[in-house]
Structure 1
Amino acid sequence: MSRIRIAPYKGPAGGWGSAKSVAKYLGSEHVVVEGPAVLLKQNKPNGFACVSCAWAKPYPPHPAEFCENGAKATAWEITKKRVTPAFFQEHTVSELRTWSDYQLEASGRLTTPMKYDAATDRFVAVDWTEAFAAIGHELAAIRETDPKRTVFYASGRASLETSYMYALLARLYGNNNLPDSSNMCHESTSVALAESIGVPVGTVTLDDFDKTDGLFFFGQNVGSNAPRMLHQLQEASDRGATIVAFNPLKERGLERFINPQDPMQMVTRIETPIARDYFQVRPGGDIAVVAGMCRWLIEADGAAQAKGEAPLLDHDFIAQHTHGFGAFSVWALSLDWKDLERESGLSRADIEKAARLYARTKAAMVIYGMGITQHKLGVQSVQMLVNLLLLRGNIGRPGAGICPVRGHSNVQGQRTVGIADKPELVPLDRLEELYGFSAPREKGLTTVETCKGIIDGTVEAFIGLGGNFLRAVPDHGPMEEAWSSMRLTVQVATKLNRGHLFNGRVSYLLPCLGRIEKDRQASGEQIVTIEDSTAFIHKSKALVEPASPDLLSEARIVAEIAKACLPHNPKVDWDSWVADYGLVRDAIARTYPEQFADFNRRMNEPKGFRRPIAASHREWKTKTGKANFVIPPALHSSFDDGSDDEVLRLMTLRSNDQFNTTVYGYDDRFRGIHGTRDVILLNEKDMQRFGIKEADSVTIETVADDGVTRRLGGLRAVRYDLPEGSCAGYYPECNVLIPIWQHAEGSQVPAAKSVPVRIVR
């Protein structure tokens, strides 16, 4: 941690700031020589898929198809730093718990399978054979008693091949307990879109960005969470497209950008403006904003028709392709502007301006992130965005559609090949036919339900395929306390994180190959596949030598655990699948023929291939057979009803030096915060009324009636431009303030973007 410095950042997204940051991290991970050559293969047809975000991969690609955060993720994986058994001899687990998230992961790559020894409070090296035998013994014993007491968690980075094997392992074991990182972010999307338009994913592709003339952003920070999208936004801005942002904080990537790949821009430092209009909506107020826009559109359309002018709504589309417009129209027109202003935090004039901007576009898309999904009414917030698009026929035609921006690089793909707690999402009959077993039909555990099960003792075993589950979930205190009560915990990982420092009675840490490392099996070097945010499937070819000769691939680890804990099944040849991942792809194609037919050939298409998304072609696989207008139950999506002026709505944020729970450093460049993550961003008027001065130490406490005290102190007060009545702090540190039960209705996504808190005096 460096000296704390808080000062506004005046530069753009990208530019020299990004270039310097990439150079810094290549140096800190000791890959200055080989790093640039590896980066030039990132997100290329014959290279590897980024291990960071899931944003789409253009074809033909840019000369450098990586962003600042993607470069950090690559340097983080190919680092020369190592965590060997000697490291664990030097440091007890109790000591390591005092380290920060950054210090733990910055220690380097894990090299050797380890077992936790409670007597010495250390991890000790073990042989792979011993580890698999012990894990298999414990899992088999639990399965004999009740297979539903084991959870198989997946973080979102594992390939399609490994994910398919992992999901099959869980179902052969006897449950659908397959929570994944989607449960913590975009499950609201999967639930909302399935009901509204009949698909659980977005409808747009990169081609639509070339044809759109309107891009409307809600709750998404493109500059830190999907920076490669800035190429598409720059091109749209240059041709005069309307770009509008709705977000409580002004994020630099949606304000202005210098393309590091444009020599002229880098020399002249001439910035490209992105969003010409930026509306700072109150956290949880997006439903009210969009409802107001819909009200204005419907009202203005009626007035236009009365005058014989062109309509603002696409009446032919509404009549032919939608259901529920009449009731939705009556609801929208009944809304009171005072209520809309109060709940949104915007003036009527601003909401009407946003609606007029939308009405002027010919083809518009809505792009959103977790600022929409992580609320009490996250599902309904997504559905309001769909309602807005349906009014003007902006789904299922070029340049238009809904675009959720996913996080981890294959989190969407994992669901596609079976990692799902809902049995109706998986072709269980087909799996039974292929593998000769009775598939479990009972709904599995979500992330929130897994947390509850660990706390109440109904979950006995946790297998983690990557990720930092214990750090990513809410209610850190109760979760960390309950973790050691489990019989078995197994973590498959590339680096050490805080989640590994809490262990069940039997506990193993299994180091695996990273995606960029060559995976040599019996048939030669293997290729894996992933799915991006736009439902395109891409292959990924590794480039570098493994960090340790003792590392196994994720697929191999899954197969060995399966062989160790399951009865022999002649229809599942785990060893053959590990020897040749092409055989796994054949199995995926047999299981999902509509989406993956001829998988092994099609994965070699330079552009990748897209799964069929029915709503993209105006085919609606909903209960009504049409796209549905859905009326939300309230105008705000927070657990805070706004009646108490002492209560603030807390948003959790990622920094510019972070991806999900991985913290690369202490420089949040775009927000001007350096040297610390222990901050609370506050509106100036709120600071005045609470008597808080800049740099004061602040403690905040969750407002909840469940008898549990959730408090976070030692936070440095930072004056920031955000709506009155709200505040912001970093994830995952602030997760200690989120009750497990405060989650989205219908999706159980933790409500991390509008947590009711108060200042503790």
Structure 2
Amino acid sequence: MTRSTPHVVGRLSFDPYEGPAGGWGSLSGMAKVVLRSGDLPVDQLMRQNKPGGFMCVSCAWAKPAEPHPAEFCENGAKATIWDLTPRRAGPDFFASHTLTELRTWTDYELEQAGRLTDPLRYDAASDRYVPCDWAEAFAAIGGRLREIDPRAAVFYASGRASLETSYAYALMARMYGSQNLPDSSNMCHESTSVGLTQSIGAPVGTVTLDDFAKTDFLFFFGQNVGSNSPRMLHDLQKAVRRGAQIVTFNPLKERGLEAFTNPQSPFQMLSPATTEISAQYHQVKTGGDLAAITGLCKWLIEADEMARAAGNPALIDHAFIADYTEGYAAFADFCRGADWGEIERESGLSVAAIAQAAAAYARSTAAIGVYGMGLTQQRFGVSNVNMVCNLMMLRGNVGREGAGLCPVRGHSNVQGQRTVGITEKPELAPLDVLKDQYGFEPPRYEGMTTVDVCERVLERQVRAFIGLGGNFLRAAPDSPRLEAAWGSIDLTVQIATKLNRGHLFTGRAAYLLPTLSRIERDVQDGRPQTVSMEDSTSCIHASDGTREPASPNLRSEMAIVAGIAQALLPPNPRLDWGAWRDDYGKVRDAIAQTYPDKFADFNARFRQPGGFHRGNPARERDFSGMEGGRARFILPPGLSAVGFDDAPDVFRLMTLRSNDQFNTTVYGYHDRFRGIQGTRDVLLICAADMDRLGLEAGQVVALETVSDDGIDRRKDGLRVTPFDIPPGCLGAYYPECNVLAPVGHHAQDAKTPAVKGIPVRVRP
């Protein structure tokens, strides 16, 4: 349902923010969440992201071996405080509210209800969740699943689950016969997994924290570090102070990439001193990165030819290209043939601006290419990733110190889940190893991606949906249509710590199973358990929870998966689910047996400060896994990544996160960095487009999706907000504007929803 008037909470204001990221504003943001939550867990915050502590439940940025005194950021602290709220959503809460009523609540209000405390099943007669015991839930879930064709059952995973639980979850699904193992990577970084594999043969980035200490140049493309991975700002600040240059391409001016005040520096906190992060900041059009990177490469190739003709040093690493790559000649021809006028039109940048960035890159000795979902969530997101690889390979910046590719993953263990087998692609899982290890025949068919799940739900072909965390319905495209179709599913099971909108739409039988937070003490068979996860730089870390659980009726994620598996699957002499539930070390031994190249001596190594690196052939310039044994220059299909033609009344909409949210979790209504307070129903638009359309600041408008599928998609109640954004581009908040994203509008080859480039019209 959409609103015709903006939703307002508290004081409404639109005041441009001119302060830095971090600083007193960061402390103020944390304080507001403390006041709303009612608890300040200082003891836990001081353990966050440290050896012997717990890994942050929000972003996946790397954890240093020698942590800062406070190794958490504003959003990481908010996530911890949010998890440890004293509020409870127990049986009494659900007895007082029908699901129909709760659907009228905002995302913020739902999570404010507090932690889930007891296993629940949906009672259609009363339209309420009612208590049930764990044994009843497991038996009913197992029984229902056995009646369902495994090909019609979906096992979705969000990024929070540990490596141990993720491995067990994927194994359970395959033993049952389902290869439908989509996860939140499909939502955000599948373009990375596909694009990097095509270009360098590895689906993940090639850098570690050590490289940030040795680089002298960083490119940023489509990544908002200040809101999405603020702890990275420590590494960027150190790099800038050491003399490294940062050049940023992003449609919006994001404060985290402009200026930073370190909250852990008394000098900076007590003085006006800040660190300027980006030496150059280029506001590229939404979807214009393909053109901008083509321009960077064109300038380098042509300047290199002129330099060598004049007897000067080369600007391109021809030895690296000759020894390790293929396809350079065709790529160079493509770049030479690219028209500067078209590059300017598609990127929104001048030739002079692109040349300035390229010249700075040419002077560097070791460069890192950092990018985020501003590149991956577009129609040609895979090509965006290919082009970042091309740019880095031109100067040999893959597989050496201080250089490499750095996709910034969102959720805490989303990369690690793929590492241990959660994937819908059978070729990416060690199926033959699993067959020998556990004595069963794994399914070999291609499973469903997130987009496939959405399409099959709309076609009424999904019969079971198991959600290991996450807020699938809210995060998915075409959310109103999915909500309307969700009731056709025979069985839905949601494993969660708190209530969210996705739990309010159920299958014919539905269970809501409460789980421990990673921060809470996990004791099985009288012994405390430790879990592990992988960060964005492929390092594996241990995580120990010590806080008293929110309820004695909670089960760990591992215990819940084991309980479902025992009820679902026949006994297997090679696998004791009860033993895995009682001792996670046994699961780690099993992981090491399945993946000996990545997890040898897993139990002995995973407490290593800073984590242990699981290895990446591309980091060692080993491309032997690729056809031909070489990295590959790949040409883009064109210069625009949005996949639709511009028109006078068609805008490029990019969905955004506030710095008062993480993924679909909304902590409050103050997007401090953008100066927006009291509402999330805003439309960011430049003054020139406002004048052209005859709009006034504060006017309430709607957006309509431009599509040819005959389906009307509209979002009402958006307040016109003047903002520094390129002409022809709009910004609005996620997940509220997922209503505008067609399921079919996704990245080619990767099926990542293209929510960073939706064609829309503005309507009064």
Q: TM-score range by the shorter chain?
A: over 0.9
Shift of 1:640: 2.1
Q: Does 1:10 align with 2:13?
A: no
Aligned to 1:302: 305
Alignment of 1:325-344 (within 5 A): 325-344=328-347
User: 1:631: which partner in 2?
Assistant: 635
Match of 1:477 in 2: 480
In the TM superposition, what whole-angstrom CA distance separates every residue of 1:263-310 from its partner, at most 9, and x where no partner exists?
A: 010001311100021000000010100001100100000000110001
Q: Tell me the CA shift for residue 329 of structure 1.
A: 0.5
The residue number in structure 2 matching 1:118 is 124
2:70 aligns with one of 44, 64, 72: 64
| Structure 2 residue runs without a partner (length 5+) | 1-8
Correspondence list, 1:81-100, <5 A: 81-100=87-106
The answer (yes or no) to whether the contact 2:164–2:588 under 8 Å persists in 1 is yes
The match for 2:245 among 239, 242, 246 is 242
1:619-642 per-position Cα deviation (integer Å, ceiling 9, x unaligned): 012112111000011110113222
Write out per-residue CA displacement over residues 389-415 of structure 1, whole angstroms, 9 at most, x where no aligned residue.
010000111110000000010000000
SS in 1 for 2:629: coil
From 201, 204, 207, the equivalent of 2:207 is 204
**Matched position secondary structure for 2:11:** coil
2:410 maps to a residue whose letter is G
Secondary structure at the aligned position of 2:121 is classed as strand
TM-score (norm 2): 0.98
Count residues with an aligned counterpart. 755
Match of 2:58 among 44, 47, 52: 52
C-alpha distance in structure 2 between counterparts of 1:17 and 1:249, whole Å: 20
Q: Deviations over 1:542-562 (max 9, x none)?
A: 020100000000001001111
User: Residue 237 of structure 1: CA displacement?
Assistant: 1.1
**Who is 1:448 aligned against?**
451
* Counterpart for residue 5 of structure 2: none
Offset, 1:523? 5.2
The match for 2:30 is: 22
Give the partner amino acid of 2:88. Answer: R
Corresponding residue for residue 324 of structure 1? 327
Report how far residue 575 of structure 1 moved. 0.1
DSSP 3-state at the match of 2:658: coil
State the alpha-carbon separation in 2 of the partners of residues 270 and 349 from structure 1. Answer: 31
Cross-structure match for 2:758 = 755
Letter in 2 for 1:77: D
How far apart in 2 are the matches of 1:236 and 1:9? 25
Query: Does structure 1 conserve the Cα–Cα contact (< 8 Å) formed by 2:489 and 2:508?
Result: yes
- Is it true that 1:736 corresponds to 2:722 in the alignment? no
Structure 1 unaligned runs (5+)?
Answer: none
Superposed counterparts of 1:83-482, under 5 Å:
83-142=89-148, 146-482=149-485
2:213 partner SS: helix
Question: 2:433, 2:82 → 1: CA distance?
Answer: 40
Match of 2:594 among 591, 595, 602: 591
State the 1:457 CA deviation: 1.3
**2:270 counterpart SS class:** helix
Q: Report Cα offsets for 1:300-351 as digits up to 9, x if no partner.
A: 0000011000110011111101110001011110011111011111111111
Matches of 1:606 and 1:725, distance apart in 2: 48
Secondary structure of 2:627's aligned partner: coil
Give the deviation of 1:653 after TM superposition. Answer: 0.2
For residues 560-606 of structure 1, the C-alpha deviation after alignment (integer angstroms, 9 at most, x for no partner) is: 11111112212111000001000000000000000000000001212
Task: Determine the C-alpha separation between the residues in 1 that align with 2:607 and 2:468.
Answer: 27
| 1:487-545 Cα deviation digits (max 9, x unpaired) | 00000000000000000000010000010010110150000000000000000010201
CA distance in structure 2 between the partners assigned to 1:184 and 1:21 by the alignment: 28
Is residue 664 of structure 1 aligned with residue 662 of structure 2?
Answer: no
- Output one character per residue of 1:158-193: Cα deviation in whole Å (capped at 9) or x when no partner: 000000000001100102100000001000000010
Report Cα offsets for 1:248-270 as digits up to 9, x if no partner: 00000000000000001000131
Shift in Å, 1:731: 0.2
* CA distance in 1 between partners of 2:421 and 2:343 (Å): 41
CA distance in 2, matches of 1:280, 1:16: 27
The whole-number CA distance in structure 1 between the counterparts of 2:198 and 2:536 is: 19
The CA distance in 1 between the partners of 2:476 and 2:635, in whole Å, is 30
Superposed displacement of residue 29, structure 1: 1.5
| Amino acid in the other structure paired with 2:456 | G
1:3-25 Cα shifts (integer Å, max 9, x gaps) = 21111112110000101221222
In the alignment, does 2:554 pair up with 1:551? yes
Matched residues in 1 for 2:484 and 2:44: separation? 41
How far the C-alpha of 1:28 sits from its partner, in A, is: 2.1
SS of 1:4's partner is: strand
Deviates more, 1:613-622 or 1:255-264: 613-622
Aligned Cα RMSD in Å? Answer: 0.7
Cα distance in 2, alignment partners of residues 269 and 56 from structure 1: 29
> How far apart, in 2, do the equivalents of 1:169 and 1:547 lie?
27
Shift of 1:59: 1.5
Distance 1:569 1:187 in 2: 34
In the alignment, the residues of structure 2 paired with residue 526 and residue 16 of structure 1 have an alpha-carbon distance, to the nearest angstrom, of 37
Q: Percent identity?
A: 60
- Secondary structure, counterpart of 2:130 in structure 1: strand
**Pairing of 1:612-691 with structure 2 (within 5 A):** 612-620=615-623, 621-642=625-646, 644-691=647-694
Which amino acid in structure 2 is aligned with residue 694 of structure 1?
A: A
Separation in structure 2 between the aligned mates of residue 696 and residue 718 of structure 1, nearest angstrom: 8
User: Contact 1:639–1:755 at 8 Å: present in 2 too?
Assistant: no
Partner of 2:6: none
Q: Which amino acid aligns with 1:131?
A: A
Distance 2:171 2:305 in 1: 54
Decide whether the 8 Å contact of 1:640 with 1:649 is kept in 2: no
Q: Judge conservation of contact 1:523–1:580 (CA < 8 Å) in 2.
A: no
- 1:720 lines up with 2:728 in the alignment: no
Kindly indicate whether the alpha-carbon contact (under 8 Å) linking 2:64 and 2:609 is maintained by their aligned counterparts in 1. no
4+ residue runs of structure 1 moved beyond 6 angstroms?
Answer: none
Q: Which amino acid aligns with 1:451?
A: C
In structure 2, the partner of 1:707 is 710
Q: Tell me the distance in 1 between the aligned counterparts of 2:51 and 2:90.
A: 34
Q: In 2, distance between residues paired with 1:216 and 1:255?
A: 14
Aligned equivalents of 1:549, 1:203: Cα separation in 2: 43
Which amino acid counterpart does residue 111 of structure 2 have in structure 1? E
Partner SS state of residue 696, structure 2: coil
Query: Could you tell me how far apart the structure 1 residues matched to 2:479 and 2:318 are?
Result: 50
SS, match of residue 461 in structure 2 = coil
